[in-house]
Amino acid sequence: MENNIQKSLRWICTALFPILCIGMIWFLQNFTKLDTSIQYIDWQTAVKIGQDDSLTELDYSVPPETGDRFRLETVIPANSKYGNLVFETAGMNLTVSIDEKAVWQSETLVPEGAAGQTQAIIPLPLDTECKLTVIGTVTDTTSIIFPPFPRFVPVDAEEIESYAYANYYSIPAGATAFISLMIAGLFLLGIARKNADWSLIPLFLASVGLTMQWITKGMGHHFLDDGLVDFLNRQEIGILLLVLLIVYLVMNRQRKFWKYFGVSAAVSAVTLAVAYMVSFFTNSRLSKYIGRLISDVTEFYDYSGLLYWITVWTVAVCAVISAYAVTRSIISQQMEAKTLRLRNELIMNSYHAIESKVTDSAAIRHEMKHKIIALDALYQKGDYKTLGQLIGDIKQQNDHLAQTQFTENFTVNTILQDAAYRAAQSDIRFDVLVSVPPQLTVAESDLCELLMNMLDNALEATAEVTDGKRFVRFQIETKNGFLAVKCENSYSGKHRQDADGNYLTTKNDAETHGFGLKLMNTVAVRYHSILDIFTSEDRIFTVHTALKLPKK
């Protein structure tokens, strides 16, 4: 059940990441909307006033002529925001009335050589419906907008539009700038570890180019030389950035990289398709924006927008894959170093155990000389009973010296040799049943953490037994793709458990002890198993697990 929970959590986390990305993009795009608060107002009646003051319906398809008079009327709906009525006034003599009361009059022309239009800006009352009447005469048709194009603009709309325009360019540029710094950090980290990834250089240049190109496209003319802005906005620059990405991809031909890249592409394509369909049916901006990008390519042969977003996506995916690879490399090096330390520790423990046995052997050989003399004396004397007892003692000593090889697996054998030596030192009976191949697919660091902590706990608990048998029975074997491990030991009968039934250390300094069972459980979960712990009434403590052996 615990394994199922772990798998579910992994799938939830995998699904949660793109959801968070979509949520963040959705949130940020709200700050790029330009016209959400501006309300455009249609004229309900529009008439042309003749020279005899006769009224005829105004025909918008007929261009106005100098001297034409007109009257326009509409109703401005109530609005909960303070704002202004705005419309262009160039080339007209106008009188504007609100609720039959004249509030604005003007006659305007656009200065020769100027760009844009003169505007009327009339504040409107809050939460009040108004009748708008405009009576005017055409004075110049050179730059006229006819009929006037009224709209309600909130007081802070100009600032909102400025911020939205800036955000439209600064948010993507900020994202690519962050990616650039991350790539640079990964490259410098590689140099510090003496394992530099030179393929990150074209990726870094592509990311920096994206940042410069996009922010320059939006706001560059306000801050940079026009020649530099025009150069950075050339379509060839976008193609160059894509070439840099291709160089990066060529330098990363590992199968694992392309596997991750393919998965990212598939997930991104599905996510984009779903988002596009939702946007299409809700008539929101994403589908329209994608349609505009496609029409730019098909109708105007402008690839810059589409190239930009393809390049941004590729840079982001490649940066994440590179970061993942570096992280895995660091973890792998740490695991290798840890495995090497554990292996060295096992070798030293094995050396000390063998050294102790050699010392014991030398002492026994020295003692054997005296026992041979004693055997001869007992034989000459005819004391066969004592002679038999002495021969039995010698045989037992010989059996003790002969038990040095438990298995051909170096790691398991060394751990068991060390445990057997410590058991003999503490007068603990140590029974072992081993059936494992010389090589196991379980990582040596995990195998050491599991077996060493298991045997350490068993020997320490058994050493506290004073009123009964002191023994440790250990069994390890491979069967049906699993590595089954079982350890039984006698104990004093004292044990502690928390509210959830987890076993706790019985040592006084609990802050610095009690990690053995947690480490063993971590290893068991890593290999899709559990750590089964139980006790019996005859004071036997049992720990059992079965690790699923990874495929080679």
Q: Long-range contacts made by residues 339-345, C-beta under 8 angstroms, separation at least 24?
A: 339/443, 339/444, 339/445, 339/448, 342/444, 342/445, 342/448, 343/411, 343/444, 343/448
Taking the C-alpha atoms of residue 5 and residue 8, their distance in angstroms, rounded to an integer, is 5
Q: How far is CA 262 from the centre of its chain?
A: 17
- Tokens 């002969």 correspond to 402
**pLDDT at position 484, please?**
95
Residues 6+ away with beta carbon under 8 Å from 83: 123, 124, 152, 153, 154, 155, 157
Angle (CA) 11 17 20, round 5°: 135
- What angle (nearest 5°) sits at the alpha carbon of residue 196, between those of residues 194 and 197? 155
Q: Largest Cα–Cα distance of the chain, in whole Å?
A: 161
Which residue ranges in the chain fall short of pLDDT 70? Answer: 1-7, 9-10, 13-18, 20-37, 108-111, 113-116, 156-167, 218-219, 222, 339-340, 342-371, 374-376, 378-379, 383-384, 387, 390, 394-404, 495-515
Rounded to a whole number of angstroms, the distance between the first and last alpha carbons of the chain is 26
Q: What order of strands is seen across the sheet that includes strand 119-124?
A: 39-40, 151-154, 83-88, 119-124
pLDDT at residue number 511: 37
Burial class (CB in 10 A: 0-12, 13-18, 19+), 41: middle
H or E segment to which residue 133 belongs: strand 130-138
Find, among 476, 490, 475, the residue nearest to 539 by Cα.
490
Enter the tokens of residue 462: 């058994």
DSSP 23: H
Distance, CA of 524 to CA of 547 (rounded, Å): 6
Contacts of 532 (CB under 8 A, 6+ apart): 542, 543, 544, 545
- 345 close to 338: Cβ distance less than 8 angstroms: no
Phi, psi angles (nearest 5°) of residue 151: -155, 150
Element of type H or E holding 496: strand 496-497
Sign, Cα dihedral of 208, 214, 218, 221? positive
CA distance 503 to 501: 6
Buried b (16+ CB within 10 A) or exposed e, 92-118: bbbebbbeeeeeeeeebebeeeeeebb
Residue 430's SS3 state is strand
Helix axes 384-402, 304-381, angle to 10 degrees: 160
Which pTM does this prediction carry?
0.48
Q: Is the backbone of residue 133 left (phi > 0), alpha (psi -120 to 50) or beta?
A: beta
Place of tokens 């930009």: 308
Mean pLDDT rounded to a whole number for the chain: 79
Q: Which amino acid is at 344?
A: N
